Amino acid sequence: MQERVQEREGIWFLRRPLQFLADIVILCGAFILAYLPSLNIQLGDFYSDTVLTQLPFVVLIQFSALFLVGAYSIIWRYVSIEDLKVFFKAALIATVVLLLGRLFFSSSAFGRWQVPVSVILIDTALAFGGLLGLRIFRRFIYEFSDKRNFAGSKKRVKRKATLLVGAGRIGATLAKEMVGRADAELAVKGFVDDNVYKKGGSVSGVKVLGTTADLARLVDELNIEQVVIAIDQAQGIEIRRILDVCRAIPVKARIVPSLNEIAHGHVKVSRIRDVQIEDLLGRDPVQLDDQNLHEFLTDKVVLVTGAGGSIGSELIRQVTNYQPKLILLVERAEYLLFQIERELVKDFPETNFLPLIADAGDEPRMREIFERYKPEVIFHAAAHKHVPLMEANVAEAIKNNVFATKLLGELAGEYGTRDFVLISTDKAVNPTSIMGASKRIAEIVLQGLNRVYKTNYMAVRFGNVLGSAGSVVPIFREQILKGEPITVTDPKMTRYFMTIPEASQLVLQAGALGEGGEIFILDMGEPIKILDLAEDMIRLSGLRPYEDIDIAFTGMRKGEKLFEELEITGENLLKTKHPKIFIGKIAMYQPQEVAEIIEYFKEAVAESNEAKIRSLINHFLPEATITEIKLPENTDTENKTEKFFTQTNLGLAEK
């Protein structure tokens, strides 16, 4: 692909002879004109003896500089301010070469090649200014004709009178795309911006009419039908404030896509949409250390388990940005694997990936994959994650979340995998649920393996991700769509929330930072009340809480907490190079102790003995408070368990 692009650039003057000829005329004319201020002799003799001799030499240098900086890869009708840098570089290179030529051609034999310094400077300004002016004129003609074509088109759309909130970069881009286009859905009447110094100014030909405090007046005076929020990197609290103002007027509020959506090519600025709950909870975009991530992922074989899940699939999308050698998509759900494969084929055709139907706990199948493909980086996102379901399926939680993690970790060490990243959860902190406890044990297992193998094992903890399959946001959306009451367990319940892209980006960054044995904890911001979330989602749907859609309180379910924590009591958080990633200094178990723990859990799982599993969790995790089921009296299982508890002295409290 790159070779074809270079070939096309190389024969540019053959494809666009008129443009090439126009550049020749400008460069030649500029050089001739540059001599006029210094001429005090006969024009005819001077031009024939000196100017015409130097002309090919000067023009060749200037053309060479233009090709060197890639000026001829720029399509004229799309020339932008960013492209000015290219022409400035070319002008600087040509000027330096000509000045050096004047120094080196100092002998009488080469006297005719000496271009005066004043002529060089005047010629540079005229030549490159003329080239830029020609391209800007071409763009003007293109945009003028484009607007006329739209104006004459029969496919006109009914445009809504719109105010744009935010006269910054995003707002300017949106206004530029919309103004004068007959097919645009927005009739932009003006900007509002809380920067008072912008009031009265003009952005992309659209006037800044006031601040958000003037919204009600402007909506009334200009018959505004909608307000579009176009603020660069808008915070959730800012969006919420503007929404409240719009509701009070009332006028419909919409928003431009997030920078993350635009950066990944999913949408354009002009594709405005309704405000979503993710916008209200959004924070600053994640700043990534790309150099570190390229070293971590570029040209590596990357394996992602749970590839069809919410986190697994987003991890894959993020990994594609760093040109891995191969991405192995491990997923046991056929339809989910089909979906992510289809998306990758369409959106990332240049990425090398391989869909593999496999259960992460199936040793023969996973060994076959490791043997054949030798993964260098592993993201283990496959897990049972639903708290109430795992309370009813205790043995399955241990098998999938603990045993499968142990198997993958051992295979990674055996086959020389460099990095292994476990996707963990804030529910692993002081766990009250089987799901949280199983993830905490998985962390312990990996820390034990980190002492045995050269592989760097690490875990990353974070809270709820917005929009993940089976999470609260999709459930609330479904209930609102059906007109059913939204079910909230407790009015005081809070949770940490993070968007799927943000969580996935930070997981990658944590993996790149890890040296082995760490449990990384992500900065989740402030916890959000589930009740507030429900009320916001109802309002964003254009409905009224408790009137159009009711909210029903169902009571806390087994294993749930009123609030989640991000660190175990007594553990210390250490800062990393990234402001949103911390390391929890958590005491580790010895590998032999971990092996003994696993053996007892294997025995309990083989017996499908839920009571014993719960008892073992409470014993091995002193910070856990798992509801126990009383064991039958005078049984062999009870005697074995009691004997083990008496003989062992494991647990974080003693570490």
Bridge pairing between strands 486-488 and 519-522: unpaired
**Residue 257 and residue 201 in one domain:** yes
- Angle between helix 310-319 and helix 334-347 axes, rounded to 10 deg: 30
The letter for the amino acid at 200 is G
Two tokens, residue 114: 């000496």
Peptide bond into 474 cis (omega under 30): no
Q: Indicate whether 604 belongs to any domain.
A: yes
**Residue 140 and residue 171 in one domain:** no
Backbone angles phi, psi at 70, to 5 degrees: 80, 25
Residue pLDDT, tens place only, 210-242: 998 999 999 999 999 889 888 877 777 788 888
CA 16 to chain centre: 39
With CA atoms as reference, report the closest residue to 303 among 211, 380, 384. 380
The letter for the amino acid at 595 is A
Q: CB–CB of 351/327 below 8 Å? A: yes
**Residue 219 and residue 269 in one domain:** yes
Q: Indicate whether 506 belongs to any domain.
A: yes
DSSP letter for 650, please.
Answer: -
The percentage of the chain sitting over the pLDDT mark of 90, rounded to a whole number, equals 29
Q: Indicate whether 384 belongs to any domain.
A: yes
Total domains in the fold of the chain = 4
Per-residue pLDDT, averaged over 483-508, amounts to: 86
Residue pLDDT, tens place only, 45-102: 555 567 777 888 888 888 888 888 877 767 665 566 667 788 888 888 888 888 887 7
What phi-psi label fits residue 115: left (phi over 0), alpha (psi between -120 and 50 degrees) or beta? Answer: beta
Domain range enclosing 208: 160-275
The letter for the amino acid at 387 is V
Q: Indicate whether 366 belongs to any domain.
A: yes
**Residue 327 and residue 452 in one domain:** yes
**Residue 40 and residue 98 in one domain:** yes
Q: What is the DSSP string of 594-643?
A: HHHHHHHHHHHHHTT-HHHHHHHHHHH-TT--PPP-PPPTT-HHHHHHHH
What phi-psi label fits residue 465: left (phi over 0), alpha (psi between -120 and 50 degrees) or beta? Answer: beta
Band of pLDDT at residue 399, cut at 50, 70 and 90? very high
Residue 497 scores a pLDDT above 50: yes
Distance, CA of 312 to CA of 252 (rounded, Å): 36
Distance, CA of 269 to CA of 177 (rounded, Å): 9
pTM: 0.66
Q: Indicate whether 376 belongs to any domain.
A: yes
Q: Indicate whether 553 belongs to any domain.
A: no
Residue 254 scores a pLDDT above 60: yes
Domain end, chosen from 151, 182, 214, is at 151
Q: Indicate whether 555 belongs to any domain.
A: no
Distance, CA of 452 to CA of 449 (rounded, Å): 5
Contacts of 554 (CB under 8 A, 6+ apart): 487, 488, 489
Residue 401 scores a pLDDT above 90: yes
Band of pLDDT at residue 493, cut at 50, 70 and 90? confident
Q: CB–CB of 536/280 below 8 Å? A: yes
Distance, CA of 630 to CA of 614 (rounded, Å): 10
**Residue 650 and residue 578 in one domain:** no
Contacts of 349 (CB under 8 A, 6+ apart): none
**Residue 44 and residue 145 in one domain:** yes
**Residue 34 and residue 140 in one domain:** yes
Which pLDDT value is given to residue 469?
A: 64
CATH number of the domain within which 263 lies: 3.40.50.720
**Residue 362 and residue 510 in one domain:** yes
**Residue 140 and residue 172 in one domain:** no
Distance, CA of 211 to CA of 191 (rounded, Å): 8
The letter for the amino acid at 87 is F
Q: Indicate whether 183 belongs to any domain.
A: yes
Residue pLDDT, tens place only, 198-209: 888 888 778 899
Q: What is the mean pLDDT of the chain?
A: 80
Distances (CA, A) of 32 to 112, 132, 357, 574: 15, 19, 71, 67
Bridge pairing between strands 206-210 and 353-357: unpaired
End-to-end CA distance of the chain: 57
With CA atoms as reference, report the closest residue to 489 among 566, 544, 561. 561
Residue 258 scores a pLDDT above 50: yes
Domain end, chosen from 252, 275, 298, is at 275
Residue pLDDT, tens place only, 334-367: 999 999 999 999 989 889 999 999 999 999 999 9
Residue pLDDT, tens place only, 530-576: 888 888 888 887 788 888 889 999 888 777 777 776 554 445 678 88
Domain end, chosen from 536, 554, 585, is at 585
**Residue 309 and residue 373 in one domain:** yes
Residue pLDDT, tens place only, 100-111: 877 776 554 455
Q: Which residues are catalytic?
A: 427
Distance, CA of 392 to CA of 52 (rounded, Å): 91
In this structure, the chain runs to a length of: 655
**Residue 572 and residue 596 in one domain:** no
